[in-house]
Amino acid sequence: MTSTPTWMKCTVYAPHELLEVIAISLAEESGGGVEEVDGGACVYFKPEDVERIDKYLGELDVPGADEVTWSWERIEGEEWLDIWKKYFHPFSPSARLWITPTWEEVGPPKEGVETIRIDPGRAFGTGGHETTKLVLSLIDDLLVRDPAPSMLDVGCGSGILSIAALLLGVGEVLAMDIDPNAVEVAGENAALNGVDGRLSLYSGDLRGIDGKWPLVVANILYQIIMGLAPTLAEKTAPGGTLIISGLLSIEGEAALEIFGGLGFTLTERRDLGEWCALVLKKEG
């Protein structure tokens, strides 16, 4: 197993009605989940995110902001893996997928289910976050109705969406992320699941990629999706499908309005908790 890096655990305490809002915002910023503690919430970040999160929390301008406190704890090596082993267990995000950590030997509950083995030692993206569950279930259902020969995974993280698509029959996938470490992890996880031969990797800006795809997925922050909307539209082939998530439920309508103006129509929306995902069809 590859050595694990340092993560920073941010523990936030706030009045109950404000804590939920802060926790959702921090989870959106981290791309991971939230660990509830007595009267507070914990979210994990990379060390380079600390200054940005301190600024966000310090500049809160809402009722009760003066009662918000937070602290940081450095988490490394075996301690990080112990945290994941406590919370990450095998589960099924959709009808044909079974996700399991590398240290578990529990097989899928029924036949005809593809197993994805993930080692979270170096990156978030185990499928446990609501937005990832939403996109995995949508990919699964979509590929039953409308198989795709290729897919573009924008902001691939651990590569879990790419791996799922390849296991479910997509011929080839291009996975890209602005974070070189994420791209490296995606490649390692693809090899772990035997699909690395059909996965291409790219680290850099989406605008630097040439081509159009019949299926494009982007599970990234709402603000980034909005900024990339014209480019996402350009990379989606005429008649193709774009699946977007990383959106809070209250952000869904605004996203639909933007993409509607770019030639997309909504074919399906799913909500889970405070989050939503949209399936958009591009005009032919």
Handedness of CA 197, 221, 9, 92 (dihedral sign): negative
Candidates 81, 93, 88, 82; CA nearest to 104 is 88
The pTM (predicted TM-score) of the whole model is: 0.80
**37-51 tens-digit pLDDT:** 888 988 888 888 899
Phi, psi (deg, nearest 5) at residue 87: -110, -20
Cα 283 from Cα 265, distance rounded (Å): 8
pLDDT of residue 1: 44
Kindly state the helix (H) or strand (E) to which residue 173 belongs, with its residue range.
strand 172-177
Mean pLDDT of 176-197: 91
pLDDT at 33 exceeding the cut of 80:
no
User: Which of the two residues, 187 and 109, has the higher pLDDT score?
Assistant: 187
Residue 204 near residue 120, CB atoms below 8 Å: no
Mean pLDDT of 160-175: 97
* Most confident segment among 1-15, 100-114, 242-256: 242-256
What domains lie within the chain, and their CATH numbers? 7-83 (3.30.70), 88-282 (3.40.50.150)
CB atoms within 10 A of CB 78: 9
Residue 125: C-alpha distances to residues 111, 138, 157 (Å)? 25, 17, 6
**80-136 tens-digit pLDDT:** 667 767 767 788 999 999 998 888 777 787 888 999 998 755 555 667 788 889 999
* Most confident segment among 25-34, 94-103, 238-247: 238-247
Residue 122: C-alpha distances to residues 53, 86, 119, 184, 282 (Å)? 20, 16, 8, 10, 35
pLDDT of residue 222: 87
